[in-house]
Chains A and B, each alone.
Chain A
Amino acid sequence: MIPRHFQITIALVLLAILISGVVIIRMTHKEEALTLQAAEAAPVAPVVGGKQEHIQVLMAYDDDQALRWRPADVFLPADRGLRARETLRYVLAQYLQTPSPHPLGKGSDIKDVYFISDDTMIVDTTAPFADSHPSGILLEEMTLTSLIETLNANVPGVAKVKFLVDGKERETLAGHADLMSFYQTASVHELAKEFE
């Protein structure tokens, strides 16, 4: 005959194991949902060819109010337009991570990149890129300078860049930085020195 107090102890241990199991399963599901949500918000990994290259990207760091070059290994196709798109997407993906050196809104992405002449490029961004971009002169200028300088360093022969938002012109990124102009990459190279 098993003593009564031993029966109670066994029952409590089994109950604790059961509750722990349920909690662990729920936490696992929650983590999976968060991971899935983050993956949906991040730029969709494009199906591209090309080879992995070791490149330099100019990243914005809000805390320091500075831009700094950082090495990165990115798969880049030979086509200039695709190469530009993948380079920019890589930079945005870094900003969408948590924690981020320069947080941008979920859904910020590059829709398309195309050339309207041999040296003039149009970068078409998603609506959330502008709609949910934090407002402020410095924050907006850091984003644009980071993207244009990264393009300048990794895509040869780009002299001018203009940004569209969801296929349309917009006056500013989030109330301050000029999106109407064509940015000369040589001028932006000088502008980037302001952030050193």
Chain B
Amino acid sequence: MILALVVLCCALGVSGAGPEQQLTVYTSQTSYSLPVVDRSGKQYISVADLLSPLGSSQPTTKEKDWRISLNKMDLRLTEGKDKAVINKQTVDLGGKVLLENGRFMVPMDAVLPLLARLLNTTIDFHQPARRMFIGNPFTRFTPEYKNGDQPSLLLNFSQPVTRLEINHDEHRGALFTHSNKTTLTFRKDPLVSDLKTQQFSDGAIQSLAFSEENGAAVITVTGNKHLQVIRSEDGKTITLQPQAAEALATPLPTQPNTPSTEVQKRTAEFFVMIDPSHGGNDKGATFGGKLVEKDITLRLARELRKELEERGIASRLLRDSDIDLSLERRAEIANEQHAGLYVALHAGRPGKGIRVYASFLTDPQQPSASRFMPWESAQAGALGRSQITARAVSDELRKKGLTVANLAMPVRPLNNLAGPAIAVELTPETDDPQSPENVKRQNTVAAAVAAAIAQVRIQLGGRP
């Protein structure tokens, strides 16, 4: 739960433009990043953001004093003072405590002494890169280069890596000079390495470099071809190989396609994350024994992708084959990739019509002063836009002559999505998987949903 919460918050935190300075904290249970701000030439962080994911109590504020408990230790900060008190012992902070928008800020230099006193465990702080390791959470890797007609580079990790950002930079210089850089950024994985650089060849995969910067570990692979990045299902191996090569492992559903441009960078363009619900061992609802929900949703998802493409709207499928994917992971992927809209597709009885759902918050939380957001009510900030989308989809479906109910329900994982999110549930016409009536209905629904998204995409942050 905490991990998911933290991931969500980090996803929100990096949504702004520009390279925000960050501190990343790794523990054996979780990892999280928090913003670092510059005040009079000193780097500051919010103490609540630092301690909250480690299990601290709710802070209490009285005039200029701020108190919090963690690990049976009491921490007291006072605005304007350069010392903290932990269980009556004074700790030098290396700068004054600041109070900004209700948040108590301490200098970056104070992070290590504060945590060392509060946690009483081993802490390894890579201060220039702003990466802090509490306990022994390290993940290491070894590169394995395979030469031949089809060169490839395998990165073998000691622990599964789960949070990966990929960037491709392509530079066409003077005659015959052409280089590609594939950058793998690991912000949430506690990746460390003694390896700094390694040379392989002068072909498609030439060298590898490891570095740490701004709260993340970075592996940069240089070559003269655009490289495809494939992660194995267990997350412990990443394979890099020239784009045209056949995949060695199942690509991540999160893997973005990078268009060929002069300088290619991942952009934060509006796209729809389509979630064909269920899959793998989870069949979902069954209809007459042969027709199962997971197959209906996948076909409908592909049709919706086609309809969106025809309207110039980018989309990604959370699964494009019959694989298991937990509900929590689906929400994490959509949040991490900053989907402009999440659409979950379902099929179920009773009734004959279509049901369109927006989220229903079972236990609405009050907005917190902290930038961390409860996982179970992450949808709170986007609920209005979700409802607008649900209404637009319902209207378009009605125009197609379908019976539609527009409902608010606590459907998992809508409440865990930080952006606009809806679910669409259709009922099959018959129990025959090959029935043309079913196919026709699915196509009609896909066209209506795509038309509605095209209408509301500006309100959701997309370009007209």
Contact = CB atoms under 8 A, between A and B. Distances in A.
Interface of A: 62-63, 65, 134-139, 141, 160, 171-172, 175-178, 180-184, 187-188, 191, 194
A191 B408 contact: yes
Nearest to A187: B362
Interface in B398-446: 405, 407-412, 415, 423, 425
B348 interface: yes
Contact of B327 (A172, A181, A187): A172
Given A137-B357, A137-B423, A175-B284, A181 B410 contact: yes
B210 interface: no
A135 to B, nearest CB: 4
B311 interface: no
A184 B362 contact: yes
Given A135-B348, A136-B348, A194-B408, A181 B415 contact: yes
A138 B412 contact: no
B348 A138 contact: yes
A11 B415 CA distance: 77
Given A138-B425, A182-B362, A184-B363, A172 B412 contact: yes
Interface string B183-222: 0000000000000000000000000000000000000000
Given A137-B409, A181-B363, A63 B350 contact: yes
Contacts of B415: 178, 181
Contacts of B277: 175
B348 A141 contact: no
Contact of A191 (B285, B360, B376, B405): B360
B56 to A, nearest CB: 22
A178 B412 contact: yes
B293 A135 contact: yes
Which 6 pairs show the lowest CB-CB distances between chains A and B?
A136-B348, A135-B285, A181-B362, A178-B410, A62-B350, A178-B412
Interface residues of B, number: 33
Contacts of A137: 346, 348, 355, 357, 409, 411, 423, 425
B461 to A, nearest CB: 26
B364 interface: yes
B20 interface: no
Contacts of A171: 326-328, 412
B54 interface: no
A70 to B, nearest CB: 19
A102 to B, nearest CB: 9
Interface string B344-372: 00101111000101001111100000000
Nearest to A63: B350
Contact of B376 (A136, A138, A181, A188): A181
Given A135-B285, A180-B376, A194-B409, A187 B423 contact: no
13 contacts: A135-B348, A136-B346, A138-B349, A141-B409, A160-B363, A175-B278, A175-B285, A176-B346, A176-B412, A178-B411, A180-B376, A181-B376, A194-B407
A178 B416 CA distance: 11
A182 B411 CA distance: 14
Contact of B355 (A138, A187, A191): A138
Contacts of B408: 191, 194
Contacts of B410: 141, 177-178, 181, 183, 191
Nearest to A174: B285
A132 to B, nearest CB: 12
Contacts of B82: none
Given A138-B350, A139-B350, A187 B361 contact: yes
A191 B147 CA distance: 61
Nearest to B423: A137
Contacts of A136: 285, 346, 348-350, 425
Interface string B131-160: 000000000000000000000000000000
Contact of A176 (B326, B361, B405, B411): B411
B299 to A, nearest CB: 18
A134 B408 CA distance: 20
B285 A134 contact: yes
Given A171-B412, A183-B363, 6 more contacts: A62-B350, A134-B349, A135-B348, A137-B348, A141-B409, A141-B411
B351 A65 contact: yes
B244 to A, nearest CB: 39
Determine which residue in B277, B326, B351 has the highest number of CB atoms from chain A within 10 A of its CB, and name it.
Answer: B351
B282 interface: yes
B235 to A, nearest CB: 21
B282 A175 contact: yes
Contacts of B405: 65
Nearest to B1: A180
A183 to B, nearest CB: 5
B348 A139 contact: yes
A177 B423 CA distance: 12
A178 to B, nearest CB: 4
